[in-house]
């Protein structure tokens, strides 16, 4: 039950079932510098659970930019049929090298982030064995990926986006992960042409070419997500992965939302400057429905959610689709 919403409740989703969270699951990785730590949140029952990889962002938080953040969407997905796997990337302050500027790759550790996700997929069976009652219940053939902010950049690379070199040429290095069926990019970074000169110089890894990104994806952003310190453009910069890639098939624009899309990183957070139970619930419901239909193309969840959104909550946003 959610007494805080009235409009978003009209967007249909599956009824919630009990779910369990296990932390910390650890994967030794000598080349990484630190073991990879994860939280696994999954339905308490059921078989053939589709897997969602969730890549956290950065920001001011000391704790939530890690495996321990994003409860509003993690719990929502897990209560409705998904096994959500959250790594703590090396960019994390609490569990990575985020506080050590001498570490190679600091502060974004973009390459290590991508490697984290591939490592998880390589060792799904080992992860299952560390979580009581999970062995044999994951569907290793149905993997989806979700990223927020810097985490969306990580997922975009796994979906096929490529970095550019200092001369603006697209890299030949293809890090596409074919085991991922679809992705969800939440408040992603746009292309490098929209970066401020200072940011482009400091973080060349943010200059992505989205044209090779062929894996299907939903891009979601808030039309009030304006950050002059990051981009010379407005909030529409965050929609670049949709407009510039062949794979992204839908764009969700949330009116009045900023970088946290109503509060996806946690409840009652100081850094959430756009907290809204309605916007959060809309984000939860629409993104779950997209993932549900991506996991099972015969499931009408996404079509039904879109229709309900347009009928009951159109004042909160817009969904664009590619023909």
CATH number of the domain that residue 73 is part of: 3.40.50.1820
Query: How far apart are the C-alpha atoms of 267 and 251, rounded to whole Å?
Result: 25
> How many domains does the structure of the chain reveal?
1
In tens, the pLDDT along 148-160 reads 999 999 999 999 9
226 is a domain residue: yes
167 — pLDDT class (breaks 50, 70, 90): confident
3-class secondary structure, 186: strand
170 is a domain residue: yes
pLDDT over 90 (residue 1): no
75 is a domain residue: yes
Q: Where are the beta strands (DSSP E) in 187-290?
A: 208-209, 216-222, 248-254
User: In Å, what is the CA distance from 115 to each residue of 55, 118, 289, 320?
Assistant: 12, 5, 28, 32
Q: Give the residues across from 254 on adjacent strands.
A: 222, 317
306 is a domain residue: yes
Query: How far apart are the C-alpha atoms of 66 and 121, rounded to whole Å?
Result: 18
219 is a domain residue: yes
Task: Decide if 188 contacts 220 (C-beta within 8 A).
Answer: no
Query: How far apart are the C-alpha atoms of 114 and 208, rounded to whole Å?
Result: 14
pTM listed for this prediction: 0.97
1 is a domain residue: no
2 is a domain residue: no
Angle at 214 between CA 211 and CA 220, to 5 degrees: 85
What is the rounded end-to-end Cα distance, in angstroms, of the chain? Answer: 37
234 is a domain residue: yes
Query: How far apart are the C-alpha atoms of 107 and 226, rounded to whole Å?
Result: 22
With pLDDT > 70 as the criterion, what percentage of the chain qualifies?
100
Query: How far apart are the C-alpha atoms of 170 and 259, rounded to whole Å?
Result: 28
Task: Decide if 139 contacts 179 (C-beta within 8 A).
Answer: no
In tens, the pLDDT along 96-143 reads 999 999 999 998 999 999 999 999 999 999 999 999 999 999 999 999
In tens, the pLDDT along 230-274 reads 999 999 999 999 999 999 999 999 999 999 999 999 999 989 999
Query: How far apart are the C-alpha atoms of 279 and 54, rounded to whole Å?
Result: 20
61 — pLDDT class (breaks 50, 70, 90): confident
Q: Which of 181, 125, 118 is nearest to 154 (CA)?
A: 118
60 — pLDDT class (breaks 50, 70, 90): confident
> What is the side-by-side order of every strand in the sheet holding 36-43?
19-27, 36-43, 83-87, 49-55, 138-148, 180-186, 216-222, 248-254, 317-321
* Structural domain span for residue 42: 8-321
User: In Å, what is the CA distance from 308 to each residue of 120, 227, 236, 314?
Assistant: 35, 31, 25, 9
* Count of helices and strands (H, E) across the chain: 8, 11
């Amino acid at each position: 039950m959610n007494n805080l919403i009235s409009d978003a409740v009209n967007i249909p989703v599956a009824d919630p079932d009990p779910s369990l969270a296990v932390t910390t699951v650890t994967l030794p990785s000598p080349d990484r510098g630190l073991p990879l730590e994860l939280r696994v949140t999954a339905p308490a029952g059921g078989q053939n659970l589709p897997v969602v990889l969730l890549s956290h962002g950065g920001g001011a938080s000391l704790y939530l930019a890690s495996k321990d953040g994003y409860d509003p969407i993690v719990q929502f997905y897990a209560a409705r049929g998904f096994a959500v796997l959250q790594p703590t990337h090396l960019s994390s302050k609490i569990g990575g090298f985020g506080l050590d500027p001498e570490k190679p790759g600091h502060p974004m550790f973009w390459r290590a982030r991508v490697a984290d996700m591939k490592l998880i997929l390589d060792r799904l069976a080992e992860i299952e064995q560390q979580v009581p009652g999970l062995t044999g219940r994951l569907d290793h053939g149905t993997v989806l990926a979700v990223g927020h902010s810097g985490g969306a950049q990580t997922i975009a690379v796994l979906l096929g986006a490529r970095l550019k070199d200092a001369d603006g040429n697209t890299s030949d290095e293809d890090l596409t992960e074919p085991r991922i069926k679809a992705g969800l990019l939440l408040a992603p970074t746009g292309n490098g042409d929209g970066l401020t000169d200072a940011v482009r110089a400091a973080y060349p890894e943010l200059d992505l070419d989205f044209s090779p990104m062929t894996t299907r994806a939903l891009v979601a952003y808030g039309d009030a997500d304006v950050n002059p310190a990051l981009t010379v453009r407005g909030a529409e910069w965050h929609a670049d992965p949709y407009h510039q890639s062949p794979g992204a098939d839908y764009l969700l624009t949330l009116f009045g939302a900023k970088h946290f899309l109503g509060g996806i990183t946690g409840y009652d957070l100081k850094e959430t400057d756009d907290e809204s139970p309605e916007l959060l619930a809309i984000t939860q419901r629409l993104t779950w429905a997209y993932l549900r239909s991506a996991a099972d193309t015969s499931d009408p969840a996404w079509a039904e959610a879109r229709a309900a959104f347009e009928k009951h909550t159109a004042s909160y946003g817009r969904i664009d689709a590619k023909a």
